[in-house]
Homo-oligomer: A and B are copies of this chain.
Amino acid sequence: MAVTAPKPRTRSRLPLSRDRIARAALDLIARKGLEGLTMRALGAKLKVEAMSLYHHVPSRDGVLDLVMDLLVAEVEIPSEGPWPDRIRKTAWSHREAALRHPHAWPLLLTRPYTTEAQLAYCDRLCALVGEAGLDPQGTALLFRLVGHYLDGALLYTALGPGRVHDPAPPPAPVDPERFPALARVGPHLRRQLADAHFEFGLERIIEACVRAAKRKA
């Protein structure tokens, strides 16, 4: 019995889905920056009118939430080994993800965490810091200490120049007459040194956590 082959659609466009929208949005942000993510541009990328997106997502903010879900999914939080080591690895994993998605990363610093995936990510971080063995109050103190440092360091990482569509020049030469301290320290604040700076600060933060854990124990 002859079976008709599935009709080859001349326009073989997959149906829209939240997953396809999320990936297209992440890619668009990587190319054009956060403000380059417009509903019209996103629609064009998916070969669809902008208005079709609203059937899968409630608003532009809804798209940003999908992108945040992709970001937190890339962070690895190990569950084996001594906890200071796990904090160290988690921090570096954050840094790698931020470097992979510099334009999108600020979303994680400026928007509330609401989706299931985002809350699960927060939960894993709380559990990790809780391994230090302090009570919930003490855990919250360490959580903020580590968190604030990471947030600041990764925002700096993400906003660094030398990326696509980032017109900000590297720190311009500074007049040592008018700004003597800045002229002296400035050369040592170069982005190329950011790895070493990140590591130094991270180790001081972990030391502080270890000391706090010992004090309570």
Residues of chain A at the chain B interface (Cβ within 8 Å): 106, 109-110, 112, 119-120, 122-124, 126-127, 129-130, 136-137, 139-141, 143-145, 147-153, 155-156, 159, 168-169, 174, 178-182, 184-189, 193, 196-198, 200-201, 204-205, 207-208, 212
Given known pairs A126-B184, A174-B119, the reply for A152 and B141 (CB within 8 Å) is no
A69 to chain B, nearest CB (A): 16
Please give, as numbers and ranges, the residues of chain B lying within 8 Å of A198 by CB-CB distance.
Answer: 144
Q: Are B112 and A201 in contact (CB under 8 A)?
A: no
Q: Is the CB of A188 within 8 A of B140?
A: yes
* A149 neighbours in B (Cβ, 8 Å): 145, 148-149, 152, 201
B140 near A197: Cβ-Cβ < 8 Å: yes
C-alpha spacing A204/B207, complex, angstroms: 10
Check A136/B208 contact, CB under 8 A, given A144-B201, A149-B148.
no
List the B side residues contacting A201 at CB < 8 Å.
Answer: 141, 144-145, 148-149
Residue pair B119, A200 in contact (C-beta under 8 Å):
no
User: Whose C-beta in chain B lies nearest to the C-beta of A122?
Assistant: B182
Q: Which of chain B's residues have a CB closer than 8 A to the CB of A110?
A: 106, 155, 159
Residue in A124, A169, A174, A197 with the greatest tally of chain B CB atoms within 10 Å:
A197
Q: Are A182 and B119 in contact (CB under 8 A)?
A: yes
Which residue of B122, B155, B197 contacts A144 across the interface (Cβ within 8 Å)?
B197
Of the residues B136, B143, B179, contact of A120 by C-beta under 8 Å:
B179
Nearest to A138 among chain B residues (CB) is: B188
Residues of B within 8 A of A168 (CB): 112
User: A11 to nearest B CB, angstroms?
Assistant: 37
CB atoms of A179 and B148 under 8 A apart: no
In Å, the complex CA distance between A207 and B215 comes to 15
